[in-house]
Amino acid sequence: MAGLVYEIFASSALVSLGFYHLISTTRNYLKSPQSYSAKPYHPLTLASSSHFLKHLELYLLILCLLVAFAHQLLVSFDPDPLLKGHSPVHRLTSLQSAAVLFLFLILSLSLLLSDSHSALLPLPSDLFFALASGLFFLQYSVSSSAASVQTSDLQARCDSISARVSALTALLCLLLACRPKLFVADVCLGAAMCLQGLWVLQTGLSLYVDAFIPEGCHRLLDVVSGVEGSTKCELEDSRLRAVAILDLVFLVHVMFVLLIVVVTYAAVAKALGIRRSLGSYQALPTTASLADNNNNHIQMKALTGTQA
């Protein structure tokens, strides 16, 4: 049960972060396409926003990373592990995940310090994206190695798919480090975070909820804590069928994230009053702008009549 609660918490954090990044990126681009540039984070710009509210996204991110780091450390000392040979494999993979989360925590703290005290740590955006790309690639390596040593068939497949999403995120961060004005890469970065969050939720459901475990697979009853997912497929046909189902579910998540991107873009464009015209995006005229145009037109007509 604790494993499922953690997966739900991690999923909520990733989806919220990705969705907020997606909305903010789209708004910044539609408001000023010519001067657009990717940002590591988007501060709240409310009229009465304090220093805390301005950096609320970073504070929440740091809090979530602390919780995830503590969870991985606790899991690494679980007294009832699944063993592969004579080594508690889950302890090594959990410590690796904890190390990666700790590096993300340091990067987030550096970003907070750079924005609040730029004189102490002037961290440019391209350097941040480059460092983030390296950390996501490290996460990809850890997830790939974890998938190769898992004793749980379903957990191995879930880790393998998660590793691919991390590799995609690393590539997008690298593109933004080289091309900060690449709006498509910035949008895809937010979408990739949403996809990772949804897949974390799907992993928790597939490993800890009996109703979502594919037919022919079952949880191991002698493992109480559910380390490594503790789900096993006895027959090869059942394992192949379970893997195919997970691949299909992943495609469903991809389509759902694509729908989120399209709907978000349309909603933000409508909220800002943006319409597409001959390949360029222009703001719809407001009442004040129409009144000014009419006044200018009347003045021009009066000036023309006087000259005549």
Q: Is pLDDT of 221 > 60?
A: no
Over residues 109-113, the mean pLDDT reads 91
**Which CA distances in Å does 254 have to 64, 160, 195, 239, 258?**
24, 16, 7, 23, 6
- Dist. CA 138–CA 101, nearest whole Å: 10
CA angle 282/288/293 to nearest 5° reads: 80
Cα separation, 185 vs 78, whole angstroms: 40
Tokens matching residue 160: 């393998």
Across the range 296-306, mean pLDDT stands at: 48
228: left (phi over 0), alpha (psi -120 to 50) or beta: left
Residues forming beta bridges with residue 232, ordered by sequence position: 218
**Full-model pTM:** 0.83
| Residue 209 and residue 4 in contact, taking contact as beta carbons nearer than 8 Å | yes
pLDDT digits 0-9 by tens, 26-80: 999 999 888 899 998 888 775 455 667 788 888 999 999 999 999 888 887 765 4
**End-to-end Cα distance, the chain:** 87
Burial class (CB in 10 A: 0-12, 13-18, 19+), 133: buried
Q: What is the dihedral sign for C-alpha 134, 116, 99, 4?
A: negative
Residue range 70-91: mean pLDDT, rounded: 66
User: Among the residues of 150-182, which ranges form H helices?
Assistant: 153-178
| 278, two tokens | 């001959």
Instruction: Tell me the residue type at 249.
Output: V
Kindly indicate the confidence band of residue 208, based on its pLDDT and cuts at 50, 70 and 90. Answer: confident
Reported confidence tier of residue 2, pLDDT bands at 50, 70, 90? low
What is the arithmetic mean of pLDDT over 260-287? 72
The alpha-carbon radius of gyration of the chain (Å, integer) is 25
Q: What are the residue ranges of helices labelled H in 77-152? A: 89-116, 125-149
Give the per-residue pLDDT at 293: 54
Annotate 43-80 with DSSP letters as a single string: ----TT--HHHHTHHHHHHHHHHHHHHHHHHHHHT-SS
- pLDDT at position 276 is 58
